[in-house]
Structure 1
């Protein structure tokens, strides 16, 4: 009797766990699909000519915000250095970053030559000393 009861309980527990995982799968799949909605990632870091200038930093930020009008940019995040723990692997020498997401490579290429982007470069390039770009494809 004990063996049968234990077997029943373990089988019921396994079925319950399996059902829970199976019912969560659509959510997991949907979440992954949402993450890959805009698979082209364009991350740019700016170093200022005047590193301590909040005014110059804010001018670049204002200029970056104009890029939101470019229709091929699906998401745009603008950031400054966070006050996180100092570690050898953390580079906090930059001043401003932009993180953009595009649906495809064509959208990213269109952004590069877009008049609003070209105007941003014209208006703000005198403020930065160095720019580093990281382009990636979400997998």
Structure 2
């Protein structure tokens, strides 16, 4: 076996071992940690503007100061493979986690959230929200 094939074999075997170990781990350790998820996708008015994207990201990050927000993840479109089931037309995503629906409702009317909308809505052309309750 030449060095290139040996490296590929070792790399593939390692990936399979990690995947197998991860799939065997119980998911119950995370259950209940984030029972309410608020996932928002923003389509920028100027999708080619990195400055607009960075400004919106900065604004989204201010939402973490709201006391009922347990965690916040901000993202941009990943450069993954193109498939029919993947929508990569949006520009910025926010993923917020709450303990309960009451916390999510407080977030909706919180002054920081309202200020975010006021200060950054000029950047987006479309917003799509998915609210998720743990099953």
| TM beyond 0.5 | yes
Deviations along 1:10-33, one digit per CA (max 9) or x if unpaired, are xxxxxxxxxxxxxxxxx84xx515
Gaps of 5+ in 1: 1-26
The alignment of Structure 1 onto Structure 2 pairs a total of residues equal to 111
Q: Kindly indicate which of the two structures has a greater share of residues assigned to helix.
A: 1
Deviation at 1:36, TM superposition (A): 1.9
Q: TM-score, structure 1 length as denominator?
A: 0.77
Deviations along 1:66-96, one digit per CA (max 9) or x if unpaired, are 1110010101000000000100110000000
Secondary structure (helix, strand or coil) at the match of 1:35 reads coil
Q: TM-score, structure 2 length as denominator?
A: 0.79
Q: Does 1:70 align with 2:71?
A: no
Secondary structure (helix, strand or coil) at the match of 1:122 reads helix
**Partner residue in 2 for 1:39:** 35
Deviation at 1:43, TM superposition (A): 0.2
Deviations along 1:93-121, one digit per CA (max 9) or x if unpaired, are 00000001100000000000000000100
Greater radius of gyration (CA): 1
Q: Does 1:127 align with 2:115?
A: no
Whole-angstrom distance in 1 between the partners of 2:28 and 2:108: 28
Deviation at 1:126, TM superposition (A): 0.4
Gaps of 5+ in 2: 1-24
